[in-house]
Amino acid sequence: MRASRLIAGTLAGVTTLTLIGACGQQIAAAVEPKLELRNAVQKLADAEQAGFTLKVTGSADDLAAALKASGEEVSADGEDRMAMDALFASSFTISYDKAGEGTADDRGSLAATISGVTGTEIRWVDAVLYAKMPVQDVIKKVGATDADFADLRKEVTAMPGVIDFVDGDWVKVTADQLGEFAEGGFGVPTDDLESEKLTAEVIAGATNLLEGATITRDSADETHLIATSSTAKAYTETKRLVTAVDPGLAGDLGEAPADKPITLDLWIEDGELTAAELNVLQFVDGATGRVAARLEVATGEKIEAPADAKQIDLKQFADTAGA
């Protein structure tokens, strides 16, 4: 399925929602009219630990109808429906732990639920990357059988680290090894990861998006704030951000949607930002219903290195994954 406008809307939603949690002072300045929101965001930005779960909520039927409204061909069942069901059954939780003064000892984790299967996680602790995945359960979701898994396991039995990963155990690799892996032609070379430039683009895009937006309170729910901006501004800032990440991807966003108001929903309870949500169907002309990118904010906790993680040979792992 290719739905450029829906993709553009989703990217704008993810960008906006993520930045509300990640760029405290800059976002707070953009939503100055609501002191409550400003204080809640600042409180989140000052937290030593925090977590954010990103998911898609709403109706698969509404999503299918929106794709059809945008000119896409969508089957009511089969692969299209499986892909949509997998989308609604997946989520990602990003957590951080400042761990002390400065950024050198900062820790982070990314946990994923993949089509309803929990247990996939990546952690970064003291310059070591840890990872695990319930491989057998995940590959079953894409049609693999127990026999297929048995064949895979047989292929990697003699590979330390790789067999542990396939069995669902924690594995680890150091930052130095990751650098060597990149220099060897695998993954993205570290020199190409201009994180400071990208961060600046992200902050600028989010600030521009919320600048000038009107913010009102839901009369039926005092914890619910509604920010109103425009599709044109969201599309412009999304395209600028995507161009900063990879200029070649900008063309995949398609044409800008018709300019109209869009709303971003935020929830604040006891002075803390608890959730933010953007209905991405606002970006699809003729679409109705609701399919939303939702960010839920959770209380953070200390991120520790998992015990008994096995060392993995990245070159060996890449060769196996490719096979």
pLDDT in tens, the chain (323 residues): 444 444 445 545 555 555 555 554 444 434 433 567 667 767 766 777 778 888 999 988 888 888 887 777 777 667 777 888 888 999 988 888 876 665 666 788 889 999 999 999 999 888 888 999 999 999 888 788 999 999 989 988 888 888 999 999 999 988 777 766 555 444 444 444 344 455 456 556 666 666 667 888 888 998 898 888 888 887 887 777 677 666 776 666 677 777 888 888 888 888 888 888 888 888 887 788 899 888 888 777 788 999 889 988 777 666 665 55
Please, which residues bridge with residue 272 across strands? Answer: 269
Output the pTM of the full model: 0.70
pLDDT given at position 301 = 79
